[in-house]
Structure 1
C-alpha cells in the first residue's frame, strides 16, 4: 500500500481533521509563496505547501494510476496525509458513442409555479457529506422519470485565483437547471435543493458561492475555464442532464463523445454516494 507521507503538524487530530476518499483530477502547481492546489475528483481542493515538490510527484503518480486516496486535511483544508486505498464501489466509465449531430432540447416549463413544484419534489434525504454531482444527477434523473422533464445542468467552476484568494475548498459545483417561460422568454432557473429555498436566477445562485460578487462568464468549452485561471473568479458551463462529472465535458470537447442518455452504473453510484 502506497502512503503519501504527512507533513509535520502542530495540532491534535482531536481539534480538527477532515477525511475523505477520492481520486486526483487536477494538480495546479504553486511555488514557495503560492500553495499547490490538488483538485480531487469529488470537487474538493487540498492545499499543499508550495515547497513540497516531492509530495507533488506522489500525487502525480496517483493521478496516473487512477488510485483512490484517503485524504486528511486540517481546518484550513491544508494537506495532512494521504493513503492509497481500495474502493470496492469504484466504477469504470462507460464509453459513449460519438455523436457530432446530437441535439438536446431542454423542456421549457410553463412558469415559476411549475419550476417551484419541480423544486419541491426534489428529495431532501441526501447524505450530508454527499457530493454535488451525485445529488444533481439523481435530482435530474428522478424528475425525468417522473414527468419526462429534460432539464439542464449548470457547472460552476472556481478558478485558481479565486480558490487561493478565498482559501476556497471546492473547484466546481453543479446543480440542475430548467428553462422557465417568463413573459414569452425562456429564462434559466437553477434548482439547488441543498443551498437554496427555491428556483434561483443564475446570478443569484452564483452569488451564494462567489464572495467577491463578480459575475461568472458563461463558456461552452472546458478549456475556456482550464486555460484562463487568472482572468476571472469563476466560469459557467451549461450542459444536458446526462452529464455527470467534469470529465464528461472534457470527453465531449476532446473526443466528440456526447452523452445521449443516463448510464445505469453512474446512476447507481450516485444513489449509493448521495442518498
Structure 2
C-alpha cells in the first residue's frame, strides 16, 4: 500500500521547472459545460493547458492538428504551455525501413513460469530521465524480442476526459508491455511495467496504480470505442501486439483494417534515444 501511495504522489507531482517536449498536438477538449478550462492533449500522452487561451489560439491549435505539425513545447510548473516552437518531424513520414526478424505471423509467446517472467522484468533497461511511456514500452518489448525471442503484447490504458478533469490527471493514456505466463497450468496475462511496478502484475493491479477511483476499466476492441465516447466512464483498456508504438497506430488500424506486423526502424531508434539516451 505504501508503494502505491508513493506512486500516486510521483504521478501527481507538478513539474518543478520549465520543461520542454518535442511532440504534436493530439486533441483539444473545450469541456462539456462550456465554461470549463480548455485542455490540450499532446501526442506524448501529456495533458496540459495554454496560458492566456483565446479564440485565436484555438484556431491555431486546430490548424496544427490538421497539418500534424511538430512543436517544441515549453511548459511551466503548472503544466501550462508557455511557448510553441514549430520544428521538423523527427521521424520520416514515408519509406520507413522495416526490421524483419521473422516472416512468421505474430503470435504471443508463452513464458513457462513466473520466475521466467520476473527474470525478464528485472533485467530490463532503466533510466532515471523523464520519458514517455510509449518509448519505454517499445524499448523493453524490442529488447525482449532480440534477447529472448519473446513475442510480447502491449496493454493501453486510456483515461477519459471525465476522469482527467475530476482528478486533474496529467496523462490521457499509458502503455506497458504484457507477457503471457504459465501459472499453475493456465496461461495468464501479466503486465510488465518496469517503471511503475515491482514485478509482473495482474491487469487490475496495474490499472489501480493509476485509477484513483479504482474503477474496473472495460477492455475495448477498437480505438474509436474510446475516442468517440470521451465522457463515458473513467477509463478503457486496449490490447495490441508489441509492434504498436503510439495511439495513432491503433487509430490507423481501425481506419484501414491492417494490423501492424513489423518493427519500424525509425520508431525503434527514436524510442531508444528518447527513453534511454541510446543511439542505435
TM-score, with structure 2 as normaliser:
0.84
2:109 corresponds to which of 107, 110, 121: 107
Pick from 47, 50, 63 the counterpart of residue 49 of structure 2. Answer: 47
CA contact (8 A) 2:96 2:265 kept: no
Deviation per CA, 1:101-157: give whole Å up to 9, x if none: x96321111121111011012111x35121111111110011111111110000111
Aligned to 1:10: none
1:74 aligns with one of 57, 76, 79:
76
1:37 aligns with 2:42: no
- Two-structure CA RMSD over aligned residues (Å): 2.3
Counterpart of 1:137 in 2: which secondary structure?
helix
Please say if residues 51 and 82 of structure 2, whose CA atoms lie closer than 8 Å, have aligned partners that are also in contact.
no
Correspondence for 2:205: 204
What is the aligned partner in structure 2 of residue 7 from structure 1? none
Q: Check whether the contact 1:24–1:39 (CA below 8 A) recurs between aligned residues.
A: yes
What's the secondary structure of 2:193's corresponding residue? coil
Question: 2:85 corresponds to which residue?
Answer: 83
The runs of 5 or more residues in structure 1 that have no matched partner are 1-14
- Please state whether the residue corresponding to 2:269 is helix, strand or coil: helix
Q: Which range is displaced more, 162-171 or 51-60? A: 51-60
Gaps of 5+ in 2: 1-15, 99-103
The structure that is helix-richer by fraction is 2
Change (3 A) 1:34 1:48: farther
Q: Provide the rounded CA distance (Å) in 1 between the counterparts of 2:113 and 2:55.
A: 54
Whether 1:118 and 2:136 are equivalent positions in the alignment is no
* SS of structure 1 residue aligned to 2:210: coil
Shift of 1:78: 3.0
**1:216 lines up with 2:214 in the alignment:** no
2:178 alignment partner, SS class: strand
CA deviation string 1:231-266 (max 9, x = no partner):
211111000001111111111111122111111111
After superposition, residues 118-137 of structure 1 pair within 5 angstroms as 118-124=120-126, 126=127, 128-137=129-138
Change (3 A) 1:274 1:147: same
Indicate how the Cα distance of structure 1 residues 110 and 161 shifts in structure 2: closer, same or farther if over 3 A, else same: same
Is the alpha carbon distance of 1:46 and 1:93 closer, same or farther for their aligned partners in structure 2, counting shifts above 3 Å? farther
